[in-house]
Structure formats: structure tokens, C-alpha cells
Structure 1
């Protein structure tokens, strides 16, 4: 990272960095958990939609499960209209991929020269979407979230554990230390691109199946669905290998073990339940499009993407009573 306020140059390692303030942009499940934990070590401002902001101002933040916490109203600043960022501000961008370009447009106008944006999204296109929306260069750091979190109400979430993996960079060591001080498990990845592909495979298995079937993660680990899970992994692995990031041969077994131990509701199922746009076009839809561009095949990912889109459309359409035609009458003899 080019700013000397963030990174040192000794041996490529990062000097101690003092983040003066943290802004959490997006008050969903992940933003709520990270905001509550980071507020124990730094001043935190939480940017939420107007209705959610009002609710959080009244009730504060509550995290159940692992690392349970309760923050009184006023422990964090809550707003739906953030002000320009001060010096040494870390902005954790915790919105979903469909909202990321708009987030870039909004936040670019508020950024100082040394503002660092931590992008915590699924898929492979997060940085491009964010900077495309911003329309100018910004200091960005990517992260992968493996935290199982579910939003119960504005400012209230359940956390089932997990943490963050940071893209290795001149400032990642200092950011990882900050998160660990806030009791968020955090590591740096020396091969972040491969880690993104692995997470994409997990998401392409868990999210559409749980959303289509309306079940928790562990419920998709059945013998009947095994061929589907393995076909999804094989299609993602083919693209990853083409991109120069071959995935482990036992990745399907690893995914089965991880999902089998998880009783979470996936983020895509939560989005469908709340009538929010899903990330399907950035996950299975992305795999299908990229495979077609490269002359490869990804029919299972394409089918799952189509089914999620159909379920989304059905959920959004008003329910209509259908009038069934009466059976034809036999002619009188």
C-alpha cells in the first residue's frame, strides 16, 4: 500500500499501524458481528439503511453464539449518511456483490488519501466492481470471510464462529493484528487467488442448494445430492486450473465435511427470505458465463443459477389464485 501512514518498507514487512477509526459499511450479519467486536478496540461507525439505523440507535448491537456481546446504544456511531473519512480510517465494506458498485460510487467521494477499504465479499469480481463504481483509484485490501453469521433483526446477529483471511500485502499483518485484538480470528494468505477459488467452490455448492431447497447447510450433505455437489466442484476446478490456480483433488470431501458440520442458513437463503437480491449471478452464474467464454462446460452451475433466478422471481411475484377450467362436458345423446 503506497501510503507511508499504512505501510513500512523494511524487508517488505508492515510496521505497526494505528487505525484511528473503523467504519463498517453495511449492517447485515457480517457487518453487525465485525462492528460489535471492533468496537471493543477502536471507535466504530456503522453505516446502515435508514430503518436499520433507527433500530440500532434504539437497541444497540447484540451478537449471540460464539463471542457473544451486547453493546449499549451509543457504543457505536450509527448513521445512514456517512461523513468524509478522517485520517487513518479503515472502511470495512460488508455489502453484498449486487450493491458493491453503488458502494464504490458513494464511498469514493468520502475517501481521504490514506483511507483503506477492506472488501469482504464472495466471488472473484469484488475489487473490480468496487473500483468500477468508484471511478478512481482507491486503497483496497481484500478479505475472505469464513464466519457463519445470521441476522435476526437490525443490529442483532448469531455468530457460529469462523474468521477472516486477508490477501497478503504490505499492511495485512497490521490489519490481522487489529482483528485478532478484537477477537476476530484472522490470518494472511500467501496465495489469495487460490483461496478465492476455493471459497467460490464452497459458495457454488452451499448457496444455491440451500436456497432452492430452503434448508440449512448441513441438510444438503445427502447421498442423493452428492453427484450434484461433485459436479459443481469439478466445473469450478476446471476454471480455476485454466486460470493457473489448481484446486486440491479432495476439495469436494473438504466441502462436504465443512457443510456437514454447519447448521447455518446460507447468506443466499437469508437473502431470499428477506426479498433481497441474491449473489447468484456472481457465483454459479459467473462460473457458467466464464466457462462459456472459454469454451468449457458448466451445465450444473448454469442449471442451479437458473433455478435460483426462477425461485427469486416466484417469490417476488404476487400470489394469484388460478381458475382451473371445468372439464369439457360430454355432448348429450
Structure 2
């Protein structure tokens, strides 16, 4: 299977690397420094079960996706529309795009930009980029994928590559469940620059997270979402299963990058306003992260 990874950060490199390691033809599309390292040395995959240099292709241009059977679409939520439009000239009509992004509405925004089949995916993995061409895996690595033409083939390939994958008719509910988990952890981890295990040891943190979750559950109920699993229990377990993980929002802030907070707590704020559900705790964290991220002074001006 020919695979392109659009937005080769930690998530894209992990799943693209797993497929390449299993023998699939994979190209990573990313930033020049990362691409140069992969071209010269391969992708270093430092996981909990192996540490290898995986050979695969890498490029900086969306045109590298030409001929792909599937695109793992892993760009930041802020870049969804522009990245989809950049890919459009190079995709076959039946190329499947799998949106592996944070937030709940990215797949819909990809569909607005492209005519190809699109499958939303819920990603459960703890990873980070430890340097150019070096992805570090801290835990988990499962996927839940929405039904779409070609999704069964992709799921089989992922399972064979060692990635637990299921196809579900309630990906919307799973995406919302993950959104609520992210809204409980991401901003707090970012503002404190603490990993999950240390974060929850702080006095009053669980009470704040419970309030964030209560607000999110109320918005989801008002929006008619059937959540997947016990979200409250899942929030508690994250700190146990990923104690050393910093949120993606924390990683972005520490590297001086803009975050996806508008698509996490900010999304709940917008939906809460639209549905008449108050979300004061989420509003505070959304505001604080926006103030902490690069460009905040220009926005205020």
C-alpha cells in the first residue's frame, strides 16, 4: 500500500513509521529539517518495545502524495483547510484521507475542501518529536476509524503492522470523548509545563478537571452526542497510563508554537455559547493559553 503522511509530526511519524516498518511504501511530508534527517538517516522510532532506524521516503512538498492509496492527514487543526487544498491536485479520486487530528470537526472541514473519501480517526497514542527525524513513543497506539471506502483495507494494514485498529459507527462519540479528555488535561499541562502524573498531584487539580469535564459533558448532551465509553473514568486513567506525557498544547508552548486550543477548550466555548450552556472553566483556560501562545500581543493590539 502506498501511504503519504501529510504533516509528519509525532503522530504521523509514529503511524507512518509503523506502516513503513511493515513493508508499505510510505512518504513523510513535513518540515525541511525533519525531512533532511529522515533522508540521511531514516526515521528513528524509539518506542517502548524497539528502537530502530526505519527507512522511508520524506519530502517537503504536497506533490509527494501523488499516487498514494491513503493519506494520513496529521496537520494541526489550524492548518486543516489550507493543507487539504494543497493536496487536492495530487490525489486520485479514490484516495482515502484519514484525519488523525485533535478536535471533532476536522474531517468535516477536509470534506469541504476535497471530493475524495474522508475517514475521521480517533488517535490514542503518547508520542513526541525528540529531534529531527526522531519520534519517541511513550505509550498506547490505538486507532478508531470511521467507515469509508477503503477504510477496511487501511485498518487491516494497520493491524498487521502492529497498530490496534477498529472501525466504528460512533466515531463522533469517540472524538467527543477524546475532546473532553483533552480539554481536562491539555491546557493545564501547557500552563504549568507539567506531565500528567505530576499535574494531578497538585492541590485542587482534580476539582478543576472535574469542573472542566462537567461543562464538556453538558455541552455534549445539549449537542445530542452519544459519548463512547466512561469519559470520567478515562480522564482518571490517563494520569496512570501516561504519567510522563506532556500534552501537545504544552509541547507547542514550550517550542514557541501556536497551539490548537481554539479547537479544544475554545471549541467547547463556542458550542456552549451556541447551545446556551455555560462553560466558565473552559473559557478561562482557553483565554489563558491564547495569552501565553506566540502572537497574543499582536492579537490584543
Q: Same fold (TM over 0.5)?
A: yes
Q: Deviations over 1:234-273 (max 9, x none)?
A: 1111111112224479532321122233121111111111
Unaligned runs of 5+ in 2: none
Report the TM-score when normalising by structure 2: 0.90
Out of 201, 220, 245, which is 1:264 matched to? 245
Match of 1:329 in 2: none
Structure 2 match to 1:10: none
1-side partners of 2:23 and 2:44: how far apart? 17
Alignment correspondent of 2:174 = 195
Distance 1:307 1:173 in 2: 42
Superposed counterparts of 1:57-76, under 5 Å: 57-71=39-53, 75-76=55-56
In the alignment, structure 1 residue 138 sits paired with structure 2 residue 116: yes
Post-superposition shift, 1:41? 2.6
Match of 1:41 in 2: 23
8 Å Cα contact 2:290-2:296 kept in structure 1: no
Q: TM-score, normalised by structure 1?
A: 0.82
Residue in 2 aligned with 1:303?
A: 284
Q: Do structure 1's residue 50 and structure 2's residue 29 form an aligned pair?
A: no
Q: Within 5 Å, which residues of 2 pair with 1:192-231?
A: 192-222=171-201, 223-231=203-211
Gap change, CA 1:253 and 1:305, over 3 Å in 2: same
Relative to structure 1, the CA distance from residue 231 to residue 120 in structure 2 (aligned partners, 3 Å threshold; closer, same or farther) is same
Aligned residues: 294
Secondary structure at the counterpart of residue 163 of structure 1? strand
Contact 1:229 1:252 in 2 (8 A): no
Q: Which residue of 2 aligns with 1:181?
A: 160
- The CA distance in 1 between the partners of 2:175 and 2:230, in whole Å, is 17
Which of residues 270, 273, 279 in structure 1 aligns to 2:260?
279
Deviation at 1:313, TM superposition (A): 4.3
The answer to whether the 8 A contact 1:237-1:246 is kept is no
* Alignment partner of 1:255 out of 235, 238, 242: 235
**Structure 1 residue 164, shift from structure 2 partner:** 1.0
1:226/1:302 Cα in 2 relative to 1: closer, same or farther (>3 Å)?
Answer: same
Task: Provide the C-alpha distance between the structure 1 equivalents of 2:188 and 2:70, rounded to a whole number of angstroms.
Answer: 35
**Distance (Å, rounded) in 2 between the aligned partners of 1:67 and 1:315:** 41
In the alignment, is residue 80 of structure 1 matched against residue 60 of structure 2?
yes
Counterpart-to-counterpart distance in 1, 2:295 and 2:62: 35
The Cα shift of 1:145 comes to: 0.7
Q: Distance in 2 between matches of 1:208 and 1:106?
A: 30
CA drift of 1:93 comes to 0.8
* Displacement after TM superposition at 1:55 (Å): 2.1
Alignment RMSD:
2.1
Bigger Rg, which one: 1
2:143 is the alignment partner of 1:161: no
Aligned mates of 2:41, 2:23 — CA distance in 1: 21
| Structure 1 runs not aligned, ≥5 long | 1-19, 318-333
- The DSSP-based 3-state class of the residue aligned with 1:23 is strand
Richer in helix (by share): 2
Answer whether contact 1:217 1:259 (CA < 8 A) is retained.
Answer: yes
Asked whether 1:116 is paired with 2:134, we answer no
Q: 1:210 to 1:316 in 2, by over 3 A?
A: farther
